[in-house]
Amino acid sequence: MQEGPARIRATTILAVRKDGRAVMAGDGQVTLGETIMKHKASKVRTMYKENVLVGFAGAAADAFNLFERLEGKLESYSGNLARAAVELAKDWRTDKILRKLEALLLAMDQDHTLIISGTGDVIEPDESVAAIGSGGPYALAAARALVDHSDLDAVTIAREAMAIAASICLYTNDQISIHELEE
């Protein structure tokens, strides 16, 4: 059986809120098929006057396009993340070219944590943690346990949960970057 083009797999992005702190962590691995192409990619960035953190999972070129569009929406709606995310999701779902983009976004500000998809979904999880990417379920499970059953702070929880995900998921490495929103 002939295989199609190598599929890009990459990433674990994790958002954690605890004790008034909001942090987002991302690993650095980029994989093409069965080959690790990069170890220290930056998959989380700040937006709108450093009041919003956004991470991506999926094709990098698609994610950069979405980052740009989300940043434009944030500017248009004066930093209102919920409104910007809904408008981005509407465009993403209805635009012929955007519909083909293969990525997920995880975005957070001081008030909201949102998962934004190309199917028009804008999901605000009930829990204080959220994750996307191939290692997302592992990081999410670890972070939930640590938030609920430890006295660790948000940064430490993110670091530990990402380390657990990196030890399980082939497409996640231990080159973790952690970003925190200022209060």
pLDDT tens track, the chain, 183 positions:
444 444 445 689 999 999 999 999 999 998 887 888 889 989 999 999 999 999 998 877 777 888 899 999 999 999 999 999 999 988 887 776 666 667 789 999 999 999 998 777 899 999 999 999 999 999 999 999 999 999 999 999 999 999 999 999 998 999 999 999 987
The reported pLDDT for the residue numbered 97 is 66
Domain segments of the chain as ranges: 8-180
| C-beta neighbour count of 179 within 10 angstroms | 21
* Residue 113 a catalytic site member: no
Catalytic entry in 11, 31, 113, 172: 11
Indicate the pTM of the whole model: 0.91
The reported pLDDT for the residue numbered 7 is 45
Side-chain-side CA neighbours of 66 within 13 Å: the count stands at 36
Helix axes 154-168, 136-149, angle to 10 degrees: 140
The CATH architecture that domain 8-180 belongs to is 4-Layer Sandwich (3.60)
The reported pLDDT for the residue numbered 173 is 94
Report the Cα 139 to chain-centroid distance in Å: 12
DSSP letter at 25?
Answer: E
DSSP letter at 19?
Answer: T
Identify the three-state secondary structure at position 95. coil
The reported pLDDT for the residue numbered 123 is 95
